[in-house]
Amino acid sequence: MDVFDTGTTAFMLVSTALVVMMSPALGLFYGGLSRRKNSINTMLMTIMAMGIGGVLWVVIGDSIAYGGVTPFDDAGNLVNPVALFFGGFDRMFTDWAMAEAATSASVADGATLAAAPYASYPGVLSVAFQASFCMVTTAIVTGSLAGRSKFGAVAFLTVLWPILVYAPMAHMTWGGGIIGSEYAIGAIDFAGGTVVHISSGLSGLILCLILGKRRGFSMMNYRAHNVPFVMLGAGLLFMGWFGFNGGSALVADGYAGLAVLNTLVAACAAAVSWIIVERIKLGKPTLVGASTGIVAGLVVITPGCGFVDPWAAVVEGFIVSPVCFFAISFCKKKIGYDDALDAFGCHGVGGILGGILVGIFARPDLSWTRVGGLIYNGSFQLLGSQCLGVLVTIVYCTIVVTILGFVTKAIFHGSLRVSQDVEMAGLDEPLHGESAYPAFTGLD
């Protein structure tokens, strides 16, 4: 008899592969949205973030997120305040998972599943699945910095960001920390509304404010240079998100099926909603808009995909598009921040909305805390917890990323930007010696 459940193990293997695919898919999405002369640089930043995030998760991220001791004792008394925000160093280099793998490999034929430390799927696979989340989340941040950033500065940021922001957020939400613990805030997040989308989108906003605007911002219209790339990237993200949300059930059962169904219908509803909004506001729908709507729908349903009914997922999808459209088309221009590829407008705003809507639509029988949303029990308890969880995420990320941004700026001689000549010429050839379209002879 196998030590681990082979069905769940296979399910998690496929889910991990799907989430890994999301990082290069994001590169296509971002690359298509960028200007032609910066498309290589934009896509390479996502691949670099993917690589750095994956390595750091194995080295230390998993330990910060899920290591250490719990902050509360069995009676709910706070015994370790540090553990509210930070795990520990006892799981570095995945030694715990390797010890488990060695134990399972030595189990004799005929042994029961209970003989293994983990009876569902291998710990080494858990590390890989969680690493894939860290990879794509780190890559999301780069979308706000496209078109004018020093590549070395972005690399430095992506080394520190997973350690100081993503892993602690995972601990606070999923590792028994201040946001997710039933003895603290008690907010619920199925697959990463706070951990992934709010943290990355808000980080992108803060860093783009520190970085400054692109040349000609507000005076010229930046258009996607390759719309088919945008659709291809969104389609692959859509596919990968089934592993992202469905795999977060951590078992191949009806819970995972519900997460997949809700992911599907929310994205579809958001695409339709975005098309309607563009038809009303712009007079015509666009493929870039519909593709962005798909991503916004995927973002908004992520925190609640396993907690809500499909009808609620449809409602969330229809709601998120006008909200994100307003943030991208109005707030960005009105406030004047240059979030180049709208990481904040889509992921940050969509993640905040999704986290709050969990407090309205979550079913009590599906909620991890058995506390339902506002429409089920008329209580504001879960809604309050969700709002407080979002607030803690915003405060923590704002403080840490602001410090990180100014430290990086100081290290790189007071500027995170390339020279004006390089920015005008485009970052691809000067920084990487490559061109996305070497035979192209037309205007940019």
* pLDDT above 90 for 107: no
Residue 435 belongs to a domain = no
Residue 202 belongs to a domain = yes
Residue 266 belongs to a domain = yes
Say which CATH number the domain at 396 has.
1.10.3430.10
Lowest mean pLDDT among 212-226, 245-259, 280-294: 212-226
How high is the pLDDT of residue 104?
52
How high is the pLDDT of residue 94?
82
How many domains would you assign to the chain? 1
Residue 434 belongs to a domain = no
The amino acid sitting at 291 is S
Residue 443 belongs to a domain = no
Mean pLDDT along residues 19-48: 97
Whose CA is closest to 35, among 379, 319, 429? 429
* pLDDT above 60 for 308: yes
* pLDDT above 60 for 223: yes
The percent of residues above 70 in pLDDT, for the chain, comes to 93
Residue 441 belongs to a domain = no
* pLDDT above 50 for 402: yes
Residue 1 belongs to a domain = no
Residue 436 belongs to a domain = no
How high is the pLDDT of residue 78?
93
Dump pLDDT digits (tens) for 130-169.
999 999 999 999 999 999 999 999 999 999 999 999 999 9
Dump pLDDT digits (tens) for 158-170.
999 999 999 999 9
How high is the pLDDT of residue 332?
85
- Provide the residue range defining the domain that includes 263: 6-428
